[in-house]
Every structure is written in C-alpha cells, then in structure tokens.
C-alpha cells in the first residue's frame, strides 16, 4: 500500500460520552426515598439530597460535553439510498 497516496482524514466524527456515575446515584437516591417512606424520614431526606445532587452533576456534565462538540461537520460522503438499487431489464 505504499503507492504514495495518503489516507484522507475522516470528515464525520463520532463523539461518545464518558462513563458516568450520576445515573446510578440517582437510582440509589430514589430507592432511599422509597425506603424512607416506610422506614423513616431521615432515609428519604438523605436519598432526596443524593438524588438531586447526582441529577445536578449529570446535567452539568451533559452541558459541558455538548459545549465541546463542533457546531457543524463537513459532509463529504455520498448519501446512500434508503432501498437497495435494482437492475432494470431482463437481468442478463
């Protein structure tokens, strides 16, 4: 493959978010709120604080990640048809 041609740089990039703890912490906070309804209000208060804090962190992280994305990407690939192309004629 050393014919002197260089591989072109990709024109469309995929941005994948980083792994995140806030969804799991929101679930734990919600579970603590539900347990607190039957076991006692301190569990509910602690769960609500944990859940709301995790929700705030999750929203802040999403805003920061969205802010780092480029506004537009240059599209250089051809648009593929939605259905496969068929031959016309008798098929020979």
- In angstroms, the CA 71 to CA 59 distance is 20
Joined together, the tokens standing for residue 25 give 């912490």
Joined together, the tokens standing for residue 22 give 């806030």
pLDDT tens, 30-63? Answer: 999 999 999 999 999 999 999 999 999 999 998 9
Give the chain's mean pLDDT: 82
In 10 A of CB 9, how many CB atoms? Answer: 6
**More confident position, 91 or 47:** 47
Q: What pLDDT does residue 75 have?
A: 65
Q: How far is CA 47 from CA 7, 16, 37, 82, in A?
A: 53, 30, 11, 48
**Most confidently modeled range among 10-19, 56-65, 79-88:** 56-65
Q: What is the pTM of this model?
A: 0.62
Joined together, the tokens standing for residue 87 give 């031959």
Check: CB of residue 56 under 8 Å from CB of residue 71: no
């Amino acid at each position: 493959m050393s014919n002197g041609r260089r591989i072109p740089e990709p024109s469309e990039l995929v941005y994948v978010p980083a792994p995140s703890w806030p969804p799991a912490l929101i679930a734990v906070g919600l579970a603590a709120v539900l347990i607190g309804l039957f076991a006692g209000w301190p569990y509910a208060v602690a769960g609500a604080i944990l859940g709301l804090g995790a929700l705030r962190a999750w929203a802040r992280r999403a805003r920061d990640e969205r802010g780092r994305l480029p506004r537009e990407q240059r599209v250089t690939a051809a648009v593929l048809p939605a259905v496969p192309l068929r031959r016309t004629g008798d098929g020979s």
